[in-house]
């Protein structure tokens, strides 16, 4: 009986050490996985980090929409952006023209609009001296915009080309959707915000990147 009690005690101590070793192994493994996860997330956060700060801008436009948008007539439409924030910004603008047709049942329909190619529906006098058409839907201002500074006009007039439209475009209304995005001028916040931290590989964004990188400031 005595021998039996000793055997049970021996087995119990052995199990204790095995269990303790197992716990230590799990803790070490968990700590290692945590450090790996923390390193990866920390790296991701630093790579994608850029300052927003007090970045504010306002769209300033001069436009008196006509009751009917007639072809072969120039309509005044001035669009510029003012930096109303506390720090300098880089700027891009989405300016999407829309032609709206009111049907007989009062339903509003958007008609196709082209501004490029051999037969554009609209002609818009984009200012490509101070702005760059990124060919990605946005126009980029070439210079950083200082506090309370205003851009030059992105464009000033719009015309509908009669030779390139059908009867469907009679009595349409003209509208614009305009959106501005201001980004900090610290290195390289504009790349992080606009191009996922990458350096552009194609024109005209290569030209734009070369212009902006020389105007950035250190963090």
d(CA 204, CA 102): 38
163 and 101 part of one domain: yes
Each residue of 39-52: pLDDT tens digit?
A: 222 222 323 233 34
Q: Are residues 133 and 206 in the same domain?
A: yes
Identify whether residues 18 and 72 lie together within a single domain: no
Residues 189 and 81 in one domain: yes
Specify whether 173 is located in the same domain as 90: yes
Query: First and final CA of the chain: distance in angstroms?
Result: 79
Domain count, the chain: 2
Provide the pLDDT for residue 160: 97
Residue 173 has pLDDT above 50, yes or no: yes
Task: Give 55's pLDDT tier (boundaries 50, 70, 90).
Answer: confident
Assess if residue 125 is contained within a domain: yes
13: containing domain: 1-41
In terms of domains, do 104 and 178 share one? yes
What band does 3 get if pLDDT is binned at 50, 70 and 90? very low
The answer to whether position 218 is within a domain reads: no
Tokens encoding 100: 């709206």
Q: Is residue 4 located within the same domain as residue 77?
A: no
In a domain, 36, yes or no: yes
Sequence-distant (≥ 6) Cβ neighbours of residue 58 within 8 angstroms: 81, 82, 84
Q: Which structure tokens are listed for 180?
A: 């501005």
State whether 32 and 119 are in the same domain: no
Residues 134 and 36 in one domain: no
In a domain? residue 207: yes
Q: How far is CA 45 from CA 50, 115, 131, 184, 200, in A?
A: 10, 40, 32, 17, 22
Same domain, 77 and 16: no
Residues 158 and 84 in one domain: yes
- What does the pLDDT read at residue 98? 94
Residues 9, 69, single domain; the answer is: no
Evaluate whether residue 51 is within a structural domain.
Answer: no
pLDDT digits (tens, 9 = 90+) for 69-128: 999 999 999 999 999 999 999 999 999 999 999 888 889 999 999 999 999 999 999 999
């Amino acid at each position: 009986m005595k021998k039996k009690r000793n055997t049970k005690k021996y087995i119990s101590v052995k199990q204790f050490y095995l269990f303790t070793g197992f716990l230590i192994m799990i803790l070490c493994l968990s700590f290692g996985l945590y450090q790996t996860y923390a390193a990866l997330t920390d790296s991701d956060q630093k790579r994608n980090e850029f300052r927003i700060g007090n970045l504010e801008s306002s769209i300033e436009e001069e436009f008196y929409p006509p009751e009917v948008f007639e072809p072969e007539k120039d309509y005044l439409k001035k669009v510029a952006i003012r930096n109303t924030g506390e720090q300098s910004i880089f700027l891009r603008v989405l300016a999407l023209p829309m032609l709206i047709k009111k049907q007989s049942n009062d339903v509003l329909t958007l008609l196709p609009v082209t501004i490029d190619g051999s037969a554009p529906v609209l002609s818009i006098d984009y200012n490509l001296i101070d702005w760059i058409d990124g060919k990605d839907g946005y126009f980029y201002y070439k210079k950083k915009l200082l506090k309370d500074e205003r851009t030059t006009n992105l464009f000033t007039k719009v015309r509908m080309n009669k030779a390139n439209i059908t009867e469907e475009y009679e009595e349409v209304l003209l509208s614009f959707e305009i959106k501005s995005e201001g980004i900090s001028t610290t290195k390289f916040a504009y790349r992080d915000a606009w191009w996922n931290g990458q350096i552009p590989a194609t024109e005209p964004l290569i030209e734009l990147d070369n212009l902006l990188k020389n105007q950035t400031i250190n963090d």
